[in-house]
Amino acid sequence: MSKPFNRILLTGAAGGLGQILREALQAHAHIVRSSDIGAMTPSRGEHDEVMPCNLADKAGVAALCKDVDAIVHLGGVSVERPFEEILQANICGMFHVYEAARQHGIKRVVFASSNHVTGFYPQDVELDVHALRRPDGYYGLSKAYGEDMATFYFHRYGIETVSLRIGSSFPEPRNRRMLSTWLSYGDLEHLVARALLADKVEHTVVYGVSANRDLWWSNRHAAHLGYAPQDSSELFRAKIERLPAPATDEPGSQLQGGPFTAAGPFD
């Protein structure tokens, strides 16, 4: 059966979302090459490759991208940490991925950005992707840098990117904040598919969020992707609202970035 891509590279394949997408991406490529520095399950056959790689290793990333048609880039530090830890994986690693894409002629990247790029906005403000960024920590700063890197590599080299400002992707929401930010695994798979397959995306930024009732983010500027979420956090509202409400003076309780806005300093 013909598929849109021969080989897709998935970085961050050992993480929670990487494990979900490792299998889902097989619908779009004859071969999925999975990479991480963490432990991964072994290769599952000729259509499933495993290539460990540290994103801080420029030559290693260049080799990782050989014979690849598209990249789904989830790799890096995924929580707020000291800047020195963020630097190598999220900033140097991002550069190495785009340089490898340029060298190998790869023209489509799907980048796992984050809602923490705009985490310092109040929760009662609706944003679209044209709102000024307000990163809520070193992690959010690294994702803002990644979005700028994607813009630069499109205008300079014609590499198209869809940056996914992922909300909170778990089997179900875990707290009140996630009633607004939740992204189901099914909607995540659909969003990544549209990011890979949509025509002429240039550099498109889209919030990765399901069709929740109380949304903080609008994707009106990313309608050309054809992303149509099917799930909603409403199914879990009663369960979540039985949990104790956070104190109004709890750090980050009124901000979209939640506890990330108060993490650190790390000195």
C-alpha distances in Å from residue 95, one per residue of 56, 107, 208, 257: 9, 15, 23, 25
The catalytic residue among 121, 139, 185, 227 is: 139
| 8 Å CB contact between 43 and 21 | no
Whether 185 sits among the annotated catalytic residues: the reply is: no
- Between CA 252 and CA 65 the distance in angstroms is 39
- Between CA 156 and CA 234 the distance in angstroms is 43
The b-or-e profile of 149-168 (16+ CB within 10 A means b, else e) is: bbeebbeeeebbbbbbbbbb
**Which residue type, as a one-letter code, is found at position 76?**
G
- Between CA 12 and CA 72 the distance in angstroms is 9
Specify whether the backbone of 10 is left (phi greater than 0), alpha (psi in -120 to 50) or beta: beta
Active site residues per annotation: 139
